[in-house]
Structure 1
């Protein structure tokens, strides 16, 4: 039982760091640009499909990951410059409606290009199979690589935001975009850069997660809902909060799905009540965080 619990903890951590890649871009876009982007899940899907297609054509998983970054970033730049740039000064309802329309366009466009059948990414042979951890725990090597890669991206993003001139401009743009623009910074170019960065992270997340499951049309929408929960818990606009929130959500969701049905079975003889509660658990967590800290764990008060 102890070994199984440790395995679920690692699964929760892996889910958390993948959610962070999705949520980091979302919280950057909202924090800096004030834009509610429901199409962020579509960029996740674009990255997954680009990776699956390139892997099928070349047999290279590394090229597939590069393709996921490039395709999602290019799609992000395209929709930001052609559509979203006209929505920054508009009401959030207009942004929601426009980006919801983009979801439909991306879904049907992807179906027209790739068809309705799912695609698959294969784990590279050097990363396949289990590895033995201290204590005799056997755990898939690829999932450990995902944890390490996600944490490395989180560190790199933190260094970018806090230690570079571009990062300083991003922080300043989130705090006071009018003043940044008045100081001579090209705010339109900054917005495009932020959106492309967020899109690339979403695309990378889609490719990595798509290696563990099928790549199919509409795969980004369920993840988008969870990513919104993450940024609300962590604090809108905070990259550090997105990491903390993602790990909390990943652990809560994974351990809840594992432990609550077991507890329900022991108490009532049926796992159904535990499964229902497990599906609600991350939303209960979000509600509790908002009661204690309405701005999120690491968000700034409005």
Structure 2
């Protein structure tokens, strides 16, 4: 593997990992503070992508579509928390799984009724469709660089919000000990609504940013939801830092596996094995990573401390 290919794969893994972080950050806080297993989190990612795509096409501007879709998703998340999710807090995890899985199914059918079954294409921002020369002989798509920059900016914003604000202090306290945070005067009901709305907004950012690269279609949230759960298990439930590290690890392992493993299979066993077994082996590497982390650190790399 030459240096150019290695640098390209590192940038791809960074882009994928940062988008996973946007999904996992909201999910880990909802799970860590609310003690809620939310299988509908991927549906918020899907709905956010559809809203951004629809508004971008209607307005003719990707940026207007992104801002409007994120705002609409945050409002949808707040309404969903106040009307449905709030009733699941005191239920056991099985009831939460069944309730949020029902929301997932209804979201898929609702999207199919409104937008149809055909994938929705989202226009790429004008001026960002071409490559940018980063080094002599090495160019990288400008839009993917934008995704990396946006992911880093959101990660920095989350760091400041969680570590430097009163709201962030309440979030960290709730992740460590929800009952004690409530006893010390934190408005847990308002915190839960804001947290769920914020998680929905992050989902919309991820869905809107990835929309021009991937097909916006019904059911797109299920596969990404599994990866988000893997991220928070690796990083530690309730930990923003753990979500970031876990997302970057998963992005690196997944991207490297899909590049390196087929090359190794082709080198050792021939092209047929690389085409057939290589992708299958590469797809399970992140679960091997999760198993290894849980073997050595059962609570994840950076669990929220009580």
Bin the TM-score by the shorter chain.
Answer: over 0.9
1:293 correspondence with 2:297: yes
> Offset of 1:20 from its aligned partner?
0.4
> Offset of 1:99 from its aligned partner?
0.2
Residue of structure 1 equivalent to 2:153: 152
1:226 correspondence with 2:227: yes
Residue of structure 2 equivalent to 1:273: 277
The alignment of Structure 1 onto Structure 2 pairs a total of residues equal to 302
CA-to-partner distance for each residue in 1:97-137, whole Å, 9 max, x for gaps?
A: 00000001111011111111111111112212000112431
Rounded to whole Å, the distance in 1 between the matches of 2:305 and 2:39 is 24
Once structures 1 and 2 are overlaid, which stretch shifts more, 40-49 or 114-123?
Answer: 114-123
1:101 correspondence with 2:83: no
1:61 correspondence with 2:90: no
TM-score relative to the length of structure 2: 0.96
Unaligned runs of 5+ in 1: none
Residue of structure 2 equivalent to 1:141: 142
CA-to-partner distance for each residue in 1:149-194, whole Å, 9 max, x for gaps?
A: 1011001001001100111111122223223323333211110011
Rounded to whole Å, the distance in 1 between the matches of 2:84 and 2:198 is 17
User: Secondary structure at 1:131's aligned position in 2?
Assistant: strand
Residue of structure 2 equivalent to 1:48: 49
Rounded to whole Å, the distance in 1 between the matches of 2:161 and 2:129 is 32
TM-score relative to the length of structure 1: 0.97
Unaligned runs of 5+ in 2: none
Residues 108 and 219 in structure 2, CA contact (< 8 A), matched pair in contact too: yes
Residues 175 and 304 in structure 2, CA contact (< 8 A), matched pair in contact too: no
Residues 295 and 301 in structure 1, CA contact (< 8 A), matched pair in contact too: no
1:82 correspondence with 2:83: yes
CA RMSD, 1 decimal: 1.2
CA-to-partner distance for each residue in 1:39-72, whole Å, 9 max, x for gaps?
A: 0000001110001100110011111111221122
